[in-house]
């Protein structure tokens, strides 16, 4: 069957649809503000949820197009609309009349979910400044608008900055998998170029024998989006000022208050526990990497940031007889994609039917209508390969949230995996990339599973629980029974050998303490940027300070890092 593809969504369509949403939200806000006693479910809760639906739909759709639409005009328009939606959302959150009306509803007339909605909505409103005087409220809203603008700048600067290095010759491809070498041959000018996009960057850091080339690539990778040094400093300064106006000593306290962890002190306590639990194991792993490095560089005393993944793979090859390259021929993108759909069908009773729709933004995006146990559960879209001006990382976000009784959801995966349509050979994946695919797909499934929640505001998972379900799901991709279903050799069709999977599993845990401490260090850096001790500081200086105390690897000096640190533009990942 040939599917007739509608043209990608245009700026005009985006504008019309979202101007209508803004108008409806504006009119719902007027309605809420003019409601009079007695305040009820019907006069307050229902219109407030409707307003949330309108603004969430706007924000979600614009968020997807900003990150992934190939047309810059559409991206810019989506940024403008997103700012207007957030501004209107802030006016609702700061409305004292709505806050009081919610508080005046008789709790006995509400069920448990509705009471939770009232509580959480009032908390949100207090946290947006609903209880402040008019001048402070306006200032808080202005600072929010500034944070939106800075966040958009931050994401755009990373999105628009892909760097390349030129290799000094084909010998600098030594160590890389045959399929990678085949797809990275010299261009018309005789030069081999390697990009900072994940499908190029990740294997290169793992396999390339050339220390010079690895270091050169990692240097340009860390030097991306240098404008964000300023932007990140402005973000932390503005967040601090906003937190102060809202009555908090610093942004960290404001930002974790509505998480399970509750306070920066509890967060810091958790860091200490993790620190104690991982210290010795990480030291031992590092010593092994250093020993391996000394084979090439006798007398070396440190392992560099551009070397550790390479030596980690070499150690795994020797100790566990597991070379990650061995798995690649079994992990061709198309088969992996199908296997993930099949596995989710089996685990969660899902079906996937290819779909075309008016909201598509790029011809290569695949969409499916999904059922769970026979019930329509929404739609998913997979945008899986790098492009110019597309977000460079891996995430799941709704294009539309499923809201029970109101609308069916549409979840989107943004990934950057090897692209079968642009490579001259097969698009082979790293096992680690397949783990990421399954992880991100888990977020998608989790989103669909929440489709019956009747309130937009309650559909969001607790911030510090968000990663848990997807992390559990990663284990399946280490299961022999699961791998044998789809992992067949790209040339011979032979199934993945049991022995290889055994070695993959044995090698899995080596390096885990190092990774834990790397993440711990990032978390400490984020907290340090937001704990009020140095708002607006140069993030490179704060990063260096934490790295000197907790870092395991020799850093590359003088880059713009942490300018290209993804997710730092959002509240979710700041100070946590
Ligand atoms: Zn995740």
Rounded to the nearest angstrom, the distance between the alpha carbon of 394 and the centre of ligand 1 is 8
Q: How far is the CA of 186 from the centre of ligand 1 (A)?
A: 36
Give 216 Cα–ligand 1 centroid separation in angstroms: 29
Q: How far is the CA of 437 from the centre of ligand 1 (A)?
A: 10
Q: What is the mean pLDDT of residues 428-434?
A: 91
Average the pLDDT over 222-243 and give the result.
98
Distance from residue 221's CA to the centre of ligand 1 (Å)? 22
Residue 389 CB partners (closer than 8 Å, separation 6+)? 70, 72, 75, 159, 160
At 270-316, the pLDDT tens digits run 999 999 999 999 999 999 999 999 999 999 999 999 999 999 999 99
CA of 104 to the centre of ligand 1 (A): 39
* CB atoms inside a 10 Å sphere around CB 260: 10
In whole angstroms, how far apart are CA 504 and each of 6, 324, 358, 483, 485?
43, 8, 43, 11, 17
The confidence score (pLDDT) of residue 34 equals: 96
- pLDDT greater than 70 at residue 6: no
Dihedral sign computed on CA atoms, order 520, 525, 526, 527: positive
How far does residue 474's CA lie from ligand 1's centre (Å)? 10
Q: What is the pLDDT of residues 176-220, one digit of tens each?
A: 999 899 999 999 999 999 999 999 999 999 999 999 999 999 999
Q: Which of 412, 414, 413, 397 is nearest to 459 (CA)?
A: 397
Cis peptide before 31 (omega within 30 of 0): no
Long-range contacts of 130-139, Cβ-Cβ distance < 8 Å, separation of 24 or more: 130/93, 130/94, 130/95, 130/96, 130/98, 130/99, 131/96, 131/99, 132/94, 132/245, 132/246, 136/245, 137/94, 139/245
pLDDT above 70 (res 2): no
- Residue 573 pLDDT class (50, 70, 90 cuts): low
Ligand 1 center to 443 CA (angstroms): 7
Name the H helices within 104-210: 112-128, 134-159, 178-182, 198-207
CA of 440 to the centre of ligand 1 (A): 6
Angstrom distance (rounded) from CA 419 to CA 424: 10
Distance 396 CA to ligand 1 centre (A): 8
In angstroms, what is the span from residue 114 Cα to ligand 1's centroid? 29
Q: How far is the CA of 411 from the centre of ligand 1 (A)?
A: 14
What is the CA(516)–ligand 1 centre distance, in A?
15
CA of 467 to the centre of ligand 1 (A): 5
Domains of the chain: 11-93+95-131 (1.20.1050.40), 164-222 (no CATH), 329-508 (1.10.1370.40)
Structure token pair of residue 136: 């402070």
Q: How far is the CA of 164 from the centre of ligand 1 (A)?
A: 27
**Would you say residue 95 has pLDDT above 70?**
yes
203 Cα: distance to centroid of ligand 1 (angstroms): 21
**What separation in Å is there between the alpha carbon of 551 and the centre of ligand 1?**
23
* C-alpha 466 – ligand 1 centre gap (Å): 7
Give distance in angstroms: CA of 81 to centre of ligand 1: 27
Report how far ligand 1's centroid is from the alpha carbon of 14 (Å).
28
Residue 399, helix vs strand vs coil: strand
Q: How far is the CA of 439 from the centre of ligand 1 (A)?
A: 6
**CA angle in degrees (0–180, nearest 5) for 378-381-385:** 165
Kindly state the percentage of the chain with pLDDT values over 90: 85
Choice between 167 and 473, residue whose per-residue pLDDT is larger: 167
Cα separation, 316 vs 314, in Å, equals 5
State the distance from the centre of ligand 1 to the C-alpha of 573, rounded, in angstroms: 12
User: At what angle are helices 112-128 and 96-103 packed, to 10 degrees?
Assistant: 150
Confidence of residue 115 (pLDDT cuts 50, 70, 90): very high
Under the banding of pLDDT at 50, 70 and 90, the label for residue 503 is very high
Task: Name the residue with higher pLDDT: 98 or 424.
Answer: 98
Distance 455 CA to ligand 1 centre (A): 23
Residue range 506-525, pLDDT digits in tens: 898 899 999 999 999 999 99
Instruction: Output the CA 435–ligand 1 centroid distance in Å.
Output: 11
Which tens digits make up the pLDDT trace of 31-78?
Answer: 999 999 999 999 999 999 999 999 999 999 999 999 999 999 999 999
412 Cα: distance to centroid of ligand 1 (angstroms): 13
The alpha carbon of 343 and the centre of ligand 1 are apart by a number of angstroms equal to 19
Q: How many Cα atoms within 13 Å fall on the side-chain side of residue 169?
A: 1
- Centre of ligand 1 from the C-alpha of residue 390, in Å: 19
Mean pLDDT of all residues in 2-28:
87
| CA 442 to ligand 1 center in whole angstroms | 8
Q: What pLDDT band is residue 414 in, cutting at 50, 70 and 90? A: very high
Q: Which helix (H) or strand (E) holds 65?
A: helix 46-68
Q: How far is the CA of 436 from the centre of ligand 1 (A)?
A: 8
Which pLDDT score, from 0 to 100, does residue 161 have? Answer: 95
- Is 70 exceeded by the pLDDT of residue 225? yes
pLDDT class for 1, splitting at 50, 70, 90? Answer: very low
Ligand 1 mean position, distance from CA 419 (Å): 22
Each residue's pLDDT tens digit, 124-134:
999 999 999 99
């Amino acid at each position: 069957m040939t599917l007739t593809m509608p043209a990608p969504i245009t700026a005009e369509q985006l504008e019309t649809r979202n101007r209508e949403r803004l108008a409806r939200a504006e009119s719902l806000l007027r309605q809420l503000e003019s409601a009079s006693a007695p305040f009820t479910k019907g006069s307050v809760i229902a219109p407030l949820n409707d307003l949330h639906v309108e603004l969430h739909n706007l924000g979600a759709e614009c968020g997807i197009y900003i990150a992934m639409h190939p047309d810059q005009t559409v991206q810019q328009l989506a940024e403008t609309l997103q700012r207007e939606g957030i501004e209107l959302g802030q006016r609702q959150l700061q409305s004292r009349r709505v806050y009081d009306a919610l508080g005046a509803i008789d709790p006995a007339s509400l069920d448990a979910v509705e009471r939770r909605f009232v509580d959480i909505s009032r908390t949100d409103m207090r946290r947006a400044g609903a209880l402040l005087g008019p001048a402070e409220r306006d200032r808080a809203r202005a600072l929010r608008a500034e944070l939106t603008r800075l966040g958009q700048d931050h994401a755009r600067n990373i999105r628009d900055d892909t760097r390349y290095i030129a290799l000094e010759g084909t010998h600098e491809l030594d160590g890389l998998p045959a399929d990678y070498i085949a797809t990275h041959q010299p261009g018309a000018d005789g030069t081999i170029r390697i990009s900072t996009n994940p499908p190029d960057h990740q294997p290169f850091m793992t396999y390339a024998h050339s220390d010079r080339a690895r270091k050169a690539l990692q240097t340009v990778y860390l030097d991306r989006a240098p404008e964000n040094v300023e932007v990140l400093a402005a973000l932390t300064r503005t967040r601090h000022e906003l937190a102060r106006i809202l009555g908090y000593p610093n942004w960290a306290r404001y930002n974790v208050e509505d998480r399970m962890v509750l306070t920066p002190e509890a967060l810091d306590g958790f860091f200490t526990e993790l620190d104690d639990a991982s210290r010795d194991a990480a030291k031992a792993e590092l010593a092994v990497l250093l020993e391996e490095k000394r084979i090439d560089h006798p007398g070396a005393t440190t392992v560099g940031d551009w070397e550790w993944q390479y030596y980690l793979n070499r150690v795994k090859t020797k100790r566990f007889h597991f070379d990650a390259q061995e798995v690649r021929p079994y992990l061709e993108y198309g088969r992996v994609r199908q296997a993930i759909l099949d596995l989710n069908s089996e685990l969660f009773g899902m079906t996937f039917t290819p779909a075309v729709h008016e909201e598509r933004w790029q011809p290569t995006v695949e969409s499916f209508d999904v059922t769970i146990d026979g019930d329509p559960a929404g739609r998913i879209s997979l945008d899986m390969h790098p492009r110019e001006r597309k977000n460079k990382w891996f995430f799941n976000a709704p294009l539309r949230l499923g809201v029970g009784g109101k609308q069916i959801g549409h979840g989107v995966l943004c990934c950057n995996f090897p692209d079968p349509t642009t490579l001259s050979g097969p698009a082979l994946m790293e096992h680690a990339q397949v783990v990421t695919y399954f992880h991100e797909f888990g977020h998608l499934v989790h989103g669909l599973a929440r489709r019956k929640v009747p309130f937009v505001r309650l559909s969001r998972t607790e911030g510090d629980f968000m990663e848990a379900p997807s992390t559990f799901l990663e284990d399946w991709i280490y299961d022999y029974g699961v791998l044998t279903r789809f992992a067949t050799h790209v040339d011979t069709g032979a199934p993945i050998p049991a022995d290889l999977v055994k070695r993959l599993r044995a090698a899995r845990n080596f390096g885990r303490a190092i990774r834990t401490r790397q993440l711990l260090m990032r978390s400490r850096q984020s907290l340090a940027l937001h704990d009020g001790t140095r708002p607006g500081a140069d993030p490179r200086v704060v990063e260096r300070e934490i790295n000197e105390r907790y870092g395991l690897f020799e850093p590359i000096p003088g880059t713009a890092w942490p300018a290209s640190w993804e997710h730092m533009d959002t509240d979710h990942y700041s100070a946590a």
